[in-house]
Copies of this chain bind each other. A is one copy, B any other.
Amino acid sequence: MRTTIREVAREAGVSPSTVSRALSMPGLVNSVTRERVLRAAQRLGYEPNRAARGLITGKTGNLGLIVPDLANPFFPSLVKGVQARAREADYAVFLADSDEDPAAESDLVRVLAKQVDGLILCSPRGREEDILTLAATTTLVMVNRRFGRVPSVVFDNSDGIGQAVAHLAALGHKRVGWVGGPRASWSDRDRIRALRAATAAAGMDLYVAGHFPPQFEGGVAAADLIVAAGVTSVIAYNDVMALGLLGRLRDRGLRVPQDISVIGIDDIQMSSMSSPTLTTVSLAKEQAGRAAVDLLLSLLERPDGVRKPRRELPTQLLVRGSTGVAPTD
């Protein structure tokens, strides 16, 4: 059996409450007694039972993190960030993967919500209604999505896409294609909005290839449309799709970047390992995880005192091998 607060109390010759105080509110205890208690606790290897503490304080010391698909290389980085920051703040993290299934997601939320102080939710496609209901009951932070007054952490897509378009314009490109992700995804909408604005401002033509699954295969599928559209450059919803594009373009006999320039978004590891390496809009994913935790913790401290519960994280274009000057035919 684990040592309990009583045993420590006996060992130190004080009452359990004093032990409790010495550990949680050291200021309220005589320094001599405190020392004695701490040493006793040390000696016995005492660790407070968090469940018991939680029962009375109403706080669990746990956070929940729900992601749609850990196999998507975007998420591991985010999870690492959440992890790291949570650990610093002495919180443990429940992780759940909804497998892109909204129903499973609701279940997970319901189960997890009981055992955590707050929830970080990546639900690009869940119903707004459901999320609002949830937000009413639980302290939660959304990642990669924004609506209503729900606290959120998102990336500054406008900036990143602006940089990408400026880069292409500087290389002499006049026509750019867009390979979209899931229609229902908030990021997709945000990104295409930014792209419309940026290309219009730069006087470039924009060809939208439509929506595709945010996988390698999605990029493969889009490639032929892109080729047919005759654009000299293309931006994809994410890096995985851009890599799919790259593969199919090569198979079609097109050279990247001589014949067509390709840009991705995310900066996943593989984007620097492909051939050619992929020019991409880098997202500070780990930082986003940390920011989400920070936001959540501040929300927990002062439930309504956070004026603007929104964070927007920087993005940065990384120019690599897949972009070059526009073909001059």
Also in contact, A115 and B50, with CB within 8 A (given A71-B77, A93-B96, A216-B269): yes
Query: Does any Cβ of B come within 8 Å of A80's Cβ?
Result: yes
Flag A76-118 by CB within 8 Å of B: 1 or 0 each: 1101100110010000111111010000000010111011000
Of the candidates B49, B60, B70, B275, the one whose C-beta lies within 8 Å of that of A114 is B49
Interfacial chain B residues near A112, Cβ < 8 Å: 92
Also in contact, A55 and B51, with CB within 8 A (given A244-B273, A275-B275): yes
Q: How many copies does the complex hold?
A: 2
List 27 A-B residue pairs with CB atoms under 8 Å apart, sorted by A's residue number.
A47-B110, A49-B55, A49-B114, A50-B114, A51-B55, A52-B55, A62-B115, A70-B76, A70-B80, A70-B83, A71-B269, A73-B73, A76-B76, A79-B97, A80-B97, A83-B96, A83-B97, A92-B94, A93-B94, A93-B96, A94-B94, A94-B95, A95-B95, A244-B273, A247-B273, A274-B274, A275-B275
Query: Does any Cβ of B come within 8 Å of A270's Cβ?
Result: yes
Classify chain A: how many residues form its interface, as a range.
35 or more
Looking across the interface, which residue of chain B has its beta carbon closest to that of A104?
Answer: B87
Query: Does any Cβ of B come within 8 Å of A127's Cβ?
Result: no
